[in-house]
Amino acid sequence: MNTEITIRRPDDWHLHLRDGAMLKGVLPETARHFARAIIMPNLVPPVVTGEQAGAYRERILAALPEGMAFEPLMTLYLTEGTEPADVAAAAASGLVKAVKLYPAGATTNSHSGVRDLAKVMPVLEKMAEIGLPLCTHGEVTTAEVDIFDREAVFIDTVLDPLRRRLPDLRVVMEHITTKEGVEYAAEGGETLGATITTHHLIINRNHILVGGIKPHYYCLPVAKREHHRLALRKAATSGSPRYFLGTDSAPHVDALKEHACGCAGCFTATNTMPLLAHVFEEEGALDKLEAFASLNGPAFYRLPVNEARMRLVKHEAAQVFPAKIFTEAGPVTVFDPGFPVHWAVEA
- Catalytically annotated residue among 248, 254, 287, 336: 248
CA distance 236 to 297: 12
Closest to 228 (Cα-Cα) out of 247, 261, 206 = 206
248 is catalytic: yes
Neighbours of 308 (CB within 10 A): 11
Neighbours of 276 (CB within 10 A): 25
Neighbours of 196 (CB within 10 A): 29
> Which ranges of 221-344 would DSSP assign to H, the alpha helix?
226-236, 254-257, 272-282, 289-290, 296-301
CA distance 244 to 25: 26
CA distance 307 to 287: 18
The size of the chain, in residues, is 347
Asked whether 252 and 201 are in contact (CB, 8 A), the reply is no
Strands across the sheet containing 343-345: 4-8, 309-314, 343-345
CA distances from 198 to 50, 232, 259, 334 (A): 30, 10, 24, 12
Tell me the catalytic residues: 248
